[in-house]
Amino acid sequence: MIKFLKRTLLGFGLVFLCLVGAGLYVMWPFWFFNKTEIEVTRQEALPSEQASAFLAGVAMRDITTPIGIPKMGYAAWAKDADGFRTRLKARAFYMKPVTGEPLAVVQVDLPASSTVLHRKVAEMVAQQTDVNIHNLSIHATHTHSGPGQYFASDFYNSFGSNKPGFDPDVFNFLSKQIAAAVIEAYETRRKAKLAIGSTRIYGATKNRSMGAYVLNENITDKQQNDAAALRAVNPLITLVRLDAETESGEFKPMGAFSTFAIHGTGIPPFTQPYHGDVWAFFERDLENNIAARYAPPWRPVHGPFEANHGDNNPNYRDGLRGDSESRRIGKALAERAWQLFVSLDEEMTEQVSIVSAMREIDVLNLREQDQKFLCPRAMIGTAVVGAAQKDEVFPISYIPPFQRGWPDDGKNDCHVEKRWMLSKLQERGLAPDRYPHLLTINAFMINELVLVGLPFEITLEAGNRIANSVNEAFVKKPEYTVISSHTNGYFAYSTTREEYSAQWYEGGHTIYGPYTNQFLAVESTNLVKDMLNHPGYFDLPEKWLFSLASNRFFPSVEEVKGQRVELKAPEFVDATLKTEPYWQLQYLDVGPSTIELHKPLVAVEYSDDGKQFQPLVGALGELVDDQGYDIQIVLDELSDVGMARYFLRWYNPEIAASGRWFRFKLEPRLGQEVWYSSAFR
């Protein structure tokens, strides 16, 4: 009996210590990190010029952050970045109708948008353009292989990535680069035309949460097999094409922005390089096709971003998830979008109308009539720890408290079926304002397209219901209605009430309770009504003050004394079932603090005699360099005197005729001159 009591007490003691340890792990960033305060003012933009025609401009900036930044999306299962497979970009689209206010639509290759980032970019943009904050909309691709640490809430700065804390350097870098893209798009504006279209593609996506989806009362097909999962998706690519007048007076394509519903999870957890995921191939293939067919005097830009994607995953083949599958899916999307782009040749019009609107709601200070929709504070469910389907981690994802589909009885609790992670410890340890609570809703209408941007990951049916509600604001339903996730902030998920009750990952991550989606439908519809009745409508404060628990991840600048050296000659690595073929070079270069991944670095050159080299171009005339999707650089290990060892890889290399030689060309870096590898073939 005594032994039994001792063992029981020991067991309780271990459980208690585990709970204390978990609580300390959760709380230490909030207790011990220094705060960074960011004050942003709502600036009045420059006056718009009087124009007699529709004007548009596009621009692109690189937003690849340095080596060593924690990555956001897979939370604790992520890794610090060690380089990139594809660069991350920001793409800006400026549009100004003859009458009315301008609109700037910005696409970013980031895991999510951010309220503080949107506000700061808007402040910077308004000082040099005619774009006010309510006319600026930032949309994300939701790649899970991009940086974190730039969010407006301590919760997602701490738990969205593999390491905690807001990084002011990451934030400042992203703000400057994104703002620069918008400013350039404004400064290069010219007479333009526009066309809008949509197309469908099935097979690229698959519903990952069928057990929750089939609970929706309006869904009659209750099957949960793979065939049904391929149907339970949003198949629409909606595209806005922009053409501009050249110096000779003809119109050539500037590019397009588009929406599609697909998670940026083709690249799995535990991988280290930055990667645009399926979106990288979607972006670049369309850009290359435009350049090859139309030969515009500028670089075309394609900025695709999320629609209502919350339960729609890439349809990668089991066991093959990674670069090759992301490439296959992304290129399929690009091919379908290209067909749509070309079909708009005869649809281009100079008659363009644009209206936009924006409202901010503090969900911790709701009007009385809105309090019935949202819980008074955010709460994370245990299903979040279990992860989404196909991202499970053994054994935690299979333990009942964390396993999907494990709701509680919901009695006497605003969050009803949600099982709280860490139970009351989460409520007592994390103040409500540590979670996202400044909710931005924005909308814009371009001719027959209406788009509502929300800072949520919105499931298929949840988005459909919001769209149906929004359409009620119109006497005549618009031809295209898009509900865009990941816009101007991040508030986790929004599911339907029925999906929420199942407590799969998406329901567990709907942080303000079961009626979040009803709230968003009402508020989105109200905003669209205000937009239509009062062009230029906005409801925003004059200034913001963000106070965020901070950490530093940007590499410290080191003195560099060494020189670039080839450590191992290029060698060919053949393809496997899961990896693509590539040439690899190991070499010595300046360290992570000065390698400057956001600037052009690597290109491939060729020679037919082994002596005279010239730039290599791809099948569509694009340069084979690190602006595409087949050149990778990753850190091997740090060296001395500010240097580091790297691997350069050229994936899917040209298989040329006998006698052709290749070499890597590296651009200058911090006193290092242009450098060439030894030739290989």
**Mean per-residue pLDDT, 487-499:** 98
For residues 385 and 436, what is the distance between their CA atoms, to the nearest angstrom?
19
**Coil, helix or strand at residue 519:** helix
The Cα 503–Cα 107 span in angstroms is: 31
**pLDDT more than 70, % of the chain:** 96
Provide the pLDDT confidence category of residue 29 given band limits of 50, 70 and 90: confident
pLDDT tens column, 110-138: 999 999 999 999 999 999 999 999 999 99
3-state class of 417 per DSSP?
Answer: coil
Q: What pLDDT shows up at residue 613? A: 97
CB atoms within 10 A of CB 229: 22
Nearest to 256 by CA among 220, 210, 303: 303
Q: What's the pLDDT score for residue 509?
A: 98
Residue 424's CB is within 10 A of a number of other CB atoms, namely: 8
Q: What pLDDT, on the 0 to 100 scale, is given for residue 626?
A: 98
Residue 341: CA atoms inside 13 Å, Cβ hemisphere, count?
Answer: 31
Q: What is the pLDDT, as a whole number, of residue 578?
A: 87
Across-strand partners of 312? 207
Residues 322-336, mean pLDDT to the nearest whole number = 98
Beta strand residue intervals within 20-135, DSSP E: 35-41, 55-62, 71-72, 83-84, 89-96, 103-108
The mean of the pLDDT values for the chain is 95
Q: Look up the pTM and report it.
A: 0.95
Least confident range from 498-502, 516-520, 656-660, 671-675: namely: 656-660
Measured distance CA(76)–CA(112) in Å, rounded: 17
Tokens 């079909």 sit on residue: 343
DSSP per-residue codes, 524-567: HHHHHHHHHHSTT-EE--SEEEEEEEB---SPPP-------EEE
Distance from C-alpha of 376 to C-alpha of 361, rounded to nearest angstrom: 14
Which tens digit of pLDDT belongs to each residue from 198-219?
999 999 999 999 999 999 999 9
Tell me the helices (H) and strands (E) count for the chain, helix number first: 14, 30
Q: Assign 396 to helix, strand or coil.
A: helix
Measure CA 172 to chain center: 18
Spatial separation of the C-alpha atoms in residues 347 and 349, rounded to whole Å: 6
- Is the confidence at residue 451, as pLDDT, over 70? yes
Q: What is the pLDDT of residues 139-196, one digit of tens each?
A: 999 999 999 999 999 999 999 999 999 999 999 999 999 999 999 999 999 999 999 9
d(CA 147, CA 168): 13
CB 77 within 8 A of CB 99: no
**% of the chain residues with pLDDT over 90:** 90
Beta bridge partners of 253: 243
Please, are residues 141 and 305 in contact by the beta-carbon 8 Å criterion? yes
Q: Give per-residue pLDDT as tens, 56-79.
A: 999 999 999 999 999 999 999 999
